[in-house]
Structure 1
Amino acid sequence: MLDSLSDGFMSIDKLWRFTYLNHTAERYLQQKRENLLGRDMWHCYPDLVNTDYYCVYRQTAATGIPGRHTGYYAPLKTWFEVRSFAHDDGITVLFRDVTSEHEHGAMLAYEASHDYLTGLANRRKCMEMIALAVADAASPALPRAGLVAVLLIDLDHFKEVNDAFGHAVGDGVLRDFVERLLAVLDPAVFAARIGGDKFILLLRQATDRAAEQLAQVVLRQFATPFEAGGRSLSLSASIGVALLRDVSESAETLLRHADAAMYAAKFAGRFQLRVYDEALDRGMRDRLDLRIELREAFAGNQFELHFQPQMALSDASITGAEALLRWRHPARGLLSPAAFLDVLLESAYEGLLVDWLVAAVCQQIDGWRRMGIRVPRISLNLSARQLTGAGLVDKILRIAQEHGIDPAMLDVEVTEDSLVSDIEKAAAVLAALNGAGISTSLDDFGSGYSSLGYLVRLPIDTLKIDRSFVLALLDSAKAAAVIQGVVALARSLGMRTVAEGVETEGQLAELKAAGCDVIQGYFISRPLEATAFAAFMQRM
């Protein structure tokens, strides 16, 4: 009867000697019963000693309480489920091979805790690991657990990659990034993808320096462009670092702190790291408040434009002005874009801003014209998503026509970093703007990528020299050489140059000697409200 069982069956006496094995037990153990009967099981299977099997059998023999255990036995490469029962002469054991069941369960468990795209742990597993690390750090039994560091990595402008090239290309970039990451990470660092383009690194026994060094290692992985879908894409990342300094904090708190630090890194200009402190928490709350208040800002007409004149160096005439966004906040007063623009561009109101901005500029030009003021060309700034948004050129032309404004009176300014994510689409939009009579300017030239390759390919009318070079002009021969080089480059490409941030007569003289076409800055005028700008133009 015992030989007919589908389970393995064996009896062991009180001296731990085999007294019986059925045929299934022989097959599972890969031994004939005559080779085992009468022999000490621990001598026959020394790998069982001090395992969970050993503990279960010993406990059953000592207490008489039935035992049960499922575990992997490496020498036989098999998962066994065992049940042990005590009797007067020793114990009996029923066991069966559950390898296939366990592997299926293990696969389900793996899928439940890992990201399908990258193979990294998912958010659920990540939170478990952070909670475990926090508990270890708080345990008096583990005095050397040390600090716990969480690094939250967020790829900058990654949504634009998916929007421009499709999710297949975006997925390829994510896999490429993870491959680079795993190639440089210490095995002790836990890595997870918690959603979209967000990743977590968990470092135990950390120090402030070790956490920041790890973040720098991650940032260096973006020095080389990513190859995906036959395209070469230059990307960056923002990293927030949070260290567990109070063992009473939870895993959720630690992750929230890392998230706040990451957004601070984005707010500071992206492609950098920030370490959490309480001031960052206050900053996050302020950003959330601003996000909520944006609706009222649009509904309540709280946005306005200030205009900074641009002067031609050839004859000191005013050739244009840059329209600069301001928010007249009812509680905080007049806010510059540095206080709110990042929040606005990450919100659902970014598209609405384009409509408002173009309409406000055209309406103001029309108002000045009715006052008999000679209206210069007005420049308005657009982000990468605004530039490549659906129907931008048609939208500008429609609004200009509604106000009776010649499109040639408008200039669209874009920054270097807004072009690199999709240079082909950006080039097409800029060409369409030029075709409609709208001029285009490249803002802050020299402060970003400054690639001559894309400069040749883009239909740009004006290069705006970054203010950092102008500020250093009188004290740095290198800054002067850069400006001379940019002016010569622009002239050879048929472009004009505008120098930003001009504050002194000495700077003006040097720029004039370098051949710069136009200047903009406090030396001429600060940004002015519409009525003050009208008065300024009447005096000129």
Structure 2
Amino acid sequence: MIDSLSDGFMSIDRWWRFTYLNNTAERYLRQERKNLLGRNIWQCYPDLVDSGYYRIYQQTAASGLPGRHTDYYAPLGTWFEARSFHHDDGITVLFRDVTREHEHAAQLEFEASHDYLTGLANRRKCMEALTLAVAEAASPSSTDGASLALLFIDLDHLKEVNDAFGHAVGDELLRGFAKRLLAIPEPAFFAARVGGDEFVLLLRNTTESAAEAFAHSVLNVLAVPFEACGRSVSLSASIGIALLRKEPESAEDLLSHADTAMYAAKSSGGFPVRTYDGALDRGMRDRVALRIDLREAFAANQFELHFQPQIALADASLIGAEALLRWRHPERGLLTPAAFLDLLLESPYEGALAEWLLNAVCQHIVAWRRMGVTVPRISLNLSARQLLGVGLTDRILHIARAYDISPAMLDIEVTEDSLVSDIEKATSVLAALKQAGVSTSLDDFGAGYSSLSYLVRLPIDTLKIDKAFVRALVESEKASAVIRGIVGLARSLGMKTIAEGVEHQSQLEELKDAGCDSVQGYLISRPLNSEAFAEFMLWL
């Protein structure tokens, strides 16, 4: 009967010699019983000495009480659950192979604590590791200075990649980034994915300079384009760093500080790594308050448009104006886009903004027409998602018809990054706009990619020369040469040019000599509200 048990069964005498093994025990131990009977268990299996099995067998023999232990036995590559019982001549052990159950439980635990897509730790596991690390770093035995650094990484524009190419491409990019992260050789770190495009890296026994150097190593990992589903895609990131010093901090505080620093890096423009300091909290509180106030801005009609005139250099005639968004905040006064535009474009109201802009521009054109003033053209800025959204051309034509306005009175300004995210879709949208009579301008030309490979394909009407080149005209002959090159390029492609940010007469003369078609800037006029712009047109 004992021989037929599904559990392993073995009897051991008081001198630790095998006295009986059943068939299952032979199979588990991978030995015939004749090779074990009469031999000492510790000599046959020396790896059991000082193990958990050794301790419970000894305790059962000494106390007469049953024992139980589960552990991995490396020589046999098996997890065993063993129960020991005392008898007059020694002990009896019932044991069974629980490898499958243990691996299943381990798999469930892994899945509960790790991200299914990248295999990195998830947010729960991250907080457990961070809590433990903070407790260890805050102990009296820890080293002086910053012993712990937390890096909060947010991949830029991943949503645009998902929208343009599909989530399969985005998922492949996330897997590729995680793989590259884990391949960074030094220093050792803990990695977790805590959100859709958010990652956390934990460095122990480090310093501020070492953490910042490591953050730049992560950026270097991203510098090489990824191959995803047959596409070559480039990624960038914003990284916030929080350092644990000697003053008490919780894991939640450290994560919040790193998150705050990341948002500061993202909004800084050109500085992708930022280390937390107390001043960031005040700025972040302001941003959170603004994000909340955005919910009321549309309903309370707090947005308005100001208009900056654009003048032809040939005869100083008005060729149009750029519509610039302003937020008349009830407590903070008139805010420019620098204070809120990134929050607005990240909010659910981005789509509503495009609709509002188009309607508002048309309403102003109608109001000026009633005053007997006609503006040749109004330019309005659209983001990448707004440009590449469904049915942009149809929406523009529908709104223009509703106000009895010619589509030729509208110009859509786009930036280079909004085009290169999906060049095929952008080309199609711009072609449709052109066919409908709506002109398009490429904003901030020269400040971004400035790739001729896409410029020759896109049906752009106007290149807007970035104000950085205009600002450098007074001190750099190279800036003048660049502007002349842009003007020549535009002419060869059948495009017009507008120089932004003209503030001095000397800049105006240089631009006129370079052959630039038109200008806008403080030298001509600051952005004006609707009434002031109407007066400007009448005066001109």
Place the TM-score, normalised by the shorter chain, in its bin: over 0.9
Deviates more, 1:294-303 or 1:105-114: 105-114
In structure 1, what is the Cα distance between the partners aligned to 2:58 and 2:416? 72
In structure 1, what is the Cα distance between the partners aligned to 2:73 and 2:191? 29
In structure 2, what is the Cα distance between the partners aligned to 1:208 and 1:187? 14
Q: CA deviation at 1:336?
A: 0.5
Counterparts of 1:361-510 in structure 2 under 5 Å?
361-510=361-510
Counterparts of 1:18-97 in structure 2 under 5 Å?
18-87=18-87, 89-97=89-97
Counterparts of 1:513-528 in structure 2 under 5 Å?
513-528=513-528
Q: Alpha-carbon deviations, 1:341-380, whole Å to 9, x = none?
A: 1111111111111111111111112222222224131111
Query: CA 1:283/1:15 → structure 2, altered by over 3 Å: closer, same or farther?
Result: farther
Counterparts of 1:287-298 in structure 2 under 5 Å?
287-298=287-298
Q: TM-score, normalised by structure 1?
A: 0.94
Q: TM-score, normalised by structure 2?
A: 0.94
Q: CA deviation at 1:423?
A: 1.4
Match of 1:245 in 2: 245
Q: Alpha-carbon deviations, 1:49-87, whole Å to 9, x = none?
A: 333333333444455443222111111111111122345
User: SS at the partner of 2:326?
Assistant: strand
Q: Alpha-carbon deviations, 1:433-459, whole Å to 9, x = none?
A: 111111111111111111111111111
CA RMSD in angstroms comes to: 2.3
- Report how many residues are paired: 540
Matched residue type, 2:455? L
Query: CA 1:143/1:523 → structure 2, altered by over 3 Å: closer, same or farther?
Result: closer
User: SS at the partner of 2:310?
Assistant: strand
8 Å CA contact 1:137–1:145 kept in 2: the answer is no
User: SS at the partner of 1:320?
Assistant: strand
Q: CA deviation at 1:531?
A: 1.6
8 Å CA contact 1:156–1:271 kept in 2: the answer is no
User: SS at the partner of 1:221?
Assistant: helix
In structure 1, what is the Cα distance between the partners aligned to 2:490 and 2:36? 91
8 Å CA contact 1:237–1:270 kept in 2: the answer is no
Match of 2:177 in 1: 177
Matched residue type, 1:535? E
Q: Alpha-carbon deviations, 1:272-328, whole Å to 9, x = none?
A: 122222222222322222122113211222111111111212122222211111111
Matched residue type, 2:98? V
Q: CA deviation at 1:537?
A: 2.1
Matched residue type, 2:7? D
5+ residue gaps in structure 2?
none
In structure 2, what is the Cα distance between the partners aligned to 1:90 and 1:245? 57
Match of 1:284 in 2: 284
Q: Alpha-carbon deviations, 1:13-43, whole Å to 9, x = none?
A: 4554444433432332223344444444333
In structure 1, what is the Cα distance between the partners aligned to 2:146 and 2:476? 47
Deviates more, 1:363-372 or 1:48-57: 48-57
Q: CA deviation at 1:168?
A: 1.8
In structure 2, what is the Cα distance between the partners aligned to 1:49 and 1:482? 79
In structure 2, what is the Cα distance between the partners aligned to 1:182 and 1:375? 58
Matched residue type, 1:531? E
Query: CA 1:246/1:383 → structure 2, altered by over 3 Å: closer, same or farther?
Result: farther
Q: Alpha-carbon deviations, 1:144-163, whole Å to 9, x = none?
A: 99622222222222112222
8 Å CA contact 1:145–1:204 kept in 2: the answer is no
In structure 2, what is the Cα distance between the partners aligned to 1:234 and 1:421? 10
Counterparts of 1:199-218 in structure 2 under 5 Å?
199-218=199-218
Q: Alpha-carbon deviations, 1:97-116, whole Å to 9, x = none?
A: 11122222222222222222
Counterparts of 1:54-203 in structure 2 under 5 Å?
54-87=54-87, 89-140=89-140, 147-186=147-186, 188-203=188-203
Match of 1:340 in 2: 340
Matched residue type, 2:216? Q
Q: CA deviation at 1:185?
A: 4.9
In structure 2, what is the Cα distance between the partners aligned to 1:270 and 1:171? 26
8 Å CA contact 2:397–2:407 kept in 1: the answer is yes
Match of 2:539 in 1: 539
8 Å CA contact 1:136–1:145 kept in 2: the answer is no
Query: CA 1:8/1:352 → structure 2, altered by over 3 Å: closer, same or farther?
Result: same
User: SS at the partner of 2:474?
Assistant: coil
In structure 2, what is the Cα distance between the partners aligned to 1:62 and 1:498? 94
8 Å CA contact 2:501–2:522 kept in 1: the answer is yes
In structure 2, what is the Cα distance between the partners aligned to 1:250 and 1:13? 55
8 Å CA contact 1:156–1:270 kept in 2: the answer is no
User: SS at the partner of 1:354?
Assistant: helix
In structure 2, what is the Cα distance between the partners aligned to 1:188 and 1:491? 55
Q: Alpha-carbon deviations, 1:103-147, whole Å to 9, x = none?
A: 222222222222222222222222222222222223446669962
Deviates more, 1:289-298 or 1:178-187: 178-187
User: SS at the partner of 2:82?
Assistant: strand
Q: CA deviation at 1:247?
A: 6.2
User: SS at the partner of 1:72?
Assistant: strand
Match of 2:331 in 1: 331
